[in-house]
Amino acid sequence: MGSVQDFTWTGTAYVQGRASAKLLASNLELSFWGGVDPETSEVIDRHHPLSGQKLQNTVLAIPGGRGSCTGSGVMLELLLNGKAPEAIIFERREDILTLGVMIAEEVFQQSIPVLVLNKDDFRQLLQLDGQTVYVDDGHVSTTPMLSKPENGLILETTPALEGIKLSPLDQELLRGDHGEASRVAIRIVLRMAHLLNTTRLMSITQVHIDACVYTGPATLLLAERLRDWGGKVRVPTTLNSISVDQKRWRALGVDTEFGEAADKLGQAYVDMGAKATYTCAPYQLDSAPKVGEQVAWAESNAVVYANSVLGARTMKYPDFLDISIALTGRAPKGGPHIDANRLASVQVNVVGVKDSSGLDDSFPPLLGYYVGMLSTSRIPVVTGLEGYGLSTDDLKAFGAAFATVSSAPMFHIVGVTPEATTLEAVTASDINTFQVQPGDLGSCWDKLNSAPPTQPLDLLSLGNPHFSLTEFRNLAHLVQGRQKAPSIAVVFNLSGPSAQLY
């Protein structure tokens, strides 16, 4: 290539449109939930290279998203409050943030271009950080291609959905025979199927909704609009934790405006027929799916647990795709729903761990975080833990930490998780192998515990994900006969059903 002004790349546009702005680029994935302030667009993940930067008035280039399924909700908030980037460029197909843009386009007629470049082109683009770039559908250039329209103007609102085989029910939903909410919902499901390059939808048995987490006014506006359009879930549906303790948020001193909005959001989904379970650990409920069951779960830690530990089958569904599937009972037939997409392509061999001797409760989550950093978007298989005796709570902690840094929907642990009876049973032909021993996890510990030792502790929050009854019993044993320091507030998080049992 020639000078900077001559650079042009062609990729795949998953949301069409035109934009131009300075490039804000990073070679590290970014979780929008907890990583981006939806009111200001500032990157608030203090471990990320873009920390402190604002996404507004930029063309954002990152390899992909990661972490929470609620990233789509943050994306929607940014779009509706005018703080979104002008366009997003990914290195690979990305579901969560792209879905947030699709929702804004389908329901609120606001959008930005979203496109994917191949790996080599994306790496070249990263070198232009800070330069003005121009996006026109699937093209990126350092010189203008066409005049840029007003921010948020939609150029094409009907993406090509040809090639997807529709069942009689799909056709009824698409015609609006079952109401406006399900008509919009099936369009969203079909657009995601197009993104996944799958030609069929499938029926699922249950849904777990994460979109009930309040990220701002847009999330409430969307839920109430679907409800007011007559939306009703077609399959059993559970709800994730909402943003407040629904029964006690006033007594806890939560801001009234925020508390009322969060409460209304949860109620909107209950009005559509969802069960008020309000837990981020639906695998602790009696309704937890069985091995091989096809479900549609959001909430990143729950998705990873369902696929990996329960052996159920679900994609890592973004917020709002979850309610779209619940309203239709239909999901794209792709991702981990299919055998071939559940195979590991990276192996992490843990050495020097014959059993749990000398290791405490921090080992499973630290290892999960480490494995997630190694695997990024790839499904890993872990070997060498056959003698550790991992409990379901250990696997919960491993999976939750893994899901914060990896976009992969699952993991395998040979001799522990149901599909990993042997290494060969869960591996693809081309696999990378890494070695790790407990001492290697020190860097993760230092990264996650960066506060100086002299800094006073104000709050201890336990139960993220929600505490199990076993964890409560263990905690009660540990603190028996001891007294909490009066200067420290302690919060335990658990689901309503678990609280009733304890």
pLDDT in tens, 68-78: 889 999 999 99
The helix (run of H) or strand (run of E) holding residue 180 is helix 180-195
The token pair at 92 is 């690979």
Catalytic residue among 68, 243, 308, 324: 68
Tell me the sheet residues that pair with 90. 62, 116
pLDDT above 90 covers what percent of the chain? 85
Torsion, Cα 275 278 281 287, to 10 degrees, reads: -20
Q: Answer yes or no: 495 catalytic.
A: no
Contact 263, 219 (CB under 8 A): no
Which residue, among 378, 307, 309, 306, has the nearest Cα to 336 in the 3D structure? 307
- Residue 476: the pLDDT is 92
pLDDT in tens, 340-383: 999 999 999 999 998 898 899 999 999 999 999 999 999 999 99
Q: Which residue has the higher pLDDT, 2 or 159?
A: 159
Tell me the C-alpha distance between 126 and 123, whole Å: 5
Q: Which structural domains are found in the chain, ordered by start?
A: 4-141 (3.50.30.10), 168-339 (3.30.499), 343-446 (no CATH), 453-501 (no CATH)
Alpha helices in 306-460 (DSSP H): 321-328, 363-375, 392-405, 442-448
- Residue 1: the pLDDT is 45
In 3-state terms, what secondary structure has residue 254?
Answer: coil
Show Cβ contacts of residue 146 under 8 Å, excluding neighbours closer than 6 positions: 18, 136
What does pLDDT average to over the chain? 93
Query: Which range in 212-216, 410-414, 493-497 is most confidently predicted, on average pLDDT?
Result: 410-414
- Residue 72: the pLDDT is 95
Phi-psi region of 391 (alpha: psi -120 to 50; beta: other; left: phi over 0): beta
| Greatest Cα pair distance in the chain | 73
- Residue 494: the pLDDT is 87
pLDDT in tens, 197-253: 999 999 999 999 999 999 999 999 999 999 999 999 999 999 999 999 988 999 999
- Residue 348: the pLDDT is 98
497: phi then psi, degrees, rounded to nearest 5? -60, -40
pLDDT in tens, 420-445: 999 999 998 889 999 999 989 998 99
- Residue 502: the pLDDT is 60
Contact 74, 44 (CB under 8 A): no
- Residue 147: the pLDDT is 52
- Amino acid sitting at position 10: T
Tell me the C-alpha distance between 147 and 416, whole Å: 57
Cis peptide before 332 (omega within 30 of 0): no
pLDDT over threshold 80, residue 179: yes
Tell me the C-alpha distance between 84 and 74, whole Å: 9
pLDDT in tens, 279-302: 999 999 999 999 999 999 999 999
- Residue 499: the pLDDT is 73
DSSP string computed for 111-177:
---EEE--HHHHHHHHTTTTSEEEEETTEEESS--S----TT--S--S---TTPBPPHHHHHHHHTT
pLDDT over threshold 50, residue 337: yes
| pLDDT bracket for residue 2 (50, 70, 90) | very low
Tell me the C-alpha distance between 410 and 426, whole Å: 12
- Residue 146: the pLDDT is 59
**Mean pLDDT over residues 450-459, rounded?**
90
- Count CA atoms closer than 13 A to 433's CA, side-chain side: 9
- Residue 429: the pLDDT is 83
pLDDT in tens, 104-163: 999 999 999 999 999 999 999 999 999 999 999 899 999 997 554 454 444 444 455 778
pLDDT above 70 covers what percent of the chain? 96
Contact 297, 318 (CB under 8 A): no
Sheet of 380-383, strand order: 412-413, 380-383, 344-350, 427-436
Which residue, among 105, 33, 103, 31, has the nearest Cα to 63 in the 3D structure? 31
Show Cβ contacts of residue 150 under 8 Å, excluding neighbours closer than 6 positions: none
